[in-house]
Structure 1
Amino acid sequence: MADVLRRGFLGGAALLLGVFAVAVVRERRSGAAYGEVADLMEREWFSAGKVFVAVLVGLAGSWAAACVGGTRSGLSESVPILFPLGLVAAFVVCRWDAVDDRHPLSVKIVALVAAPFALGTIMTGW
């Protein structure tokens, strides 16, 4: 299951980065400045802070699994596995915010804390 999750999130993140690159090229061709493109990324694609939080929470899940009886991966192994998870989680939250600002905090907590913790436990801890 962990291998399927790793491949799925890696594929999903690669697809998101590819589509984001196309969006950036389109914005630049339409005359947008680099600051406007950065704002677009933070607002509609994936905020760097949200990616960071999801990766840290996934890492905490990995270490929690190690305390319970799994294997603890080092940072050099865990972060490359968890980074695509962070990209996908941040994208989901940014898209929800772009569509509708009225999502409760609980939805963001599930997307950025609960899901990465559980998936970090499965993907790198066991």
Structure 2
Amino acid sequence: MTVVASVLRWTFLVAGVAVLAAFLVSAVRARIAGTGFGELVDLLENRWFAPGQVFFAVLAGLAGSWVAGWAGAPRPPLLESVPLLFPMGLVAAFVVRRTGGDEDADRGGRTFLVKLVALLAVPLLLGAVMTGW
């Protein structure tokens, strides 16, 4: 299980850095084109990832690690768990924004299902694996 946890940690770290780098490139291009800072914040929240979704995914991952700790797995302290789970939260919020984060177009309940899976179910399970074992 340690190998799986290590692979997941590195995968989400690389994916999280890639999402942040892509956002920074997009923000620099928009800023060069004359976009104001307020519009860049809107771009961050509406197109890339919302900070509240990142926070929620990290909390779900922490809950998963606490459940794993309750079940008997060794769990690192909070100050070590959050940096491990933060890239996962970035990726989860990015997935929600790109696949089903549009509040205007519900897509037949798909928005809620994508949010439920990407922001709650997957971080809960991955949090148990990434920080619990």
TM-score, normalised by the number of residues in structure 1 = 0.95
Structure 1 residue aligned with 2:121: 114
Q: CA RMSD in A?
A: 1.1
Aligned counterpart in structure 1 of residue 26 of structure 2, from 23, 30, 37: 23
Structure 1 residue aligned with 2:51: 48
**Over residues 27-82 of structure 1, what are the superposed CA-to-partner deviations in whole Å (9 max), with x where a residue is unaligned?**
10111100000000000101000000000000000000000010121111000000
Aligned counterpart in structure 2 of residue 68 of structure 1, from 46, 71, 80: 71
List, as ranges, runs of 4+ consecutive aligned residues in structure 1 with deviation greater than 3 Å: none
Structure 1 residue aligned with 2:112: 105
Structure 2 residue aligned with 1:35: 38
TM-score, normalised by the number of residues in structure 2 = 0.91
Gaps of 5+ in 1: none
Q: Aligned equivalents of 2:48 and 2:114: distance in 1? A: 17
Q: Aligned equivalents of 2:117 and 2:9: distance in 1? A: 19
The residue type paired with residue 44 of structure 2 is M
Count the aligned residue pairs. Answer: 125
Structure 2 residue aligned with 1:8: 11
Gaps of 5+ in 2: none
Q: Aligned equivalents of 1:105 and 1:46: distance in 2? A: 16
Structure 1 residue aligned with 2:132: 125
**Over residues 67-118 of structure 1, what are the superposed CA-to-partner deviations in whole Å (9 max), with x where a residue is unaligned?**
00101211110000000000000000011235x8323312210000000000
Q: Aligned equivalents of 2:22 and 2:111: distance in 1? A: 28
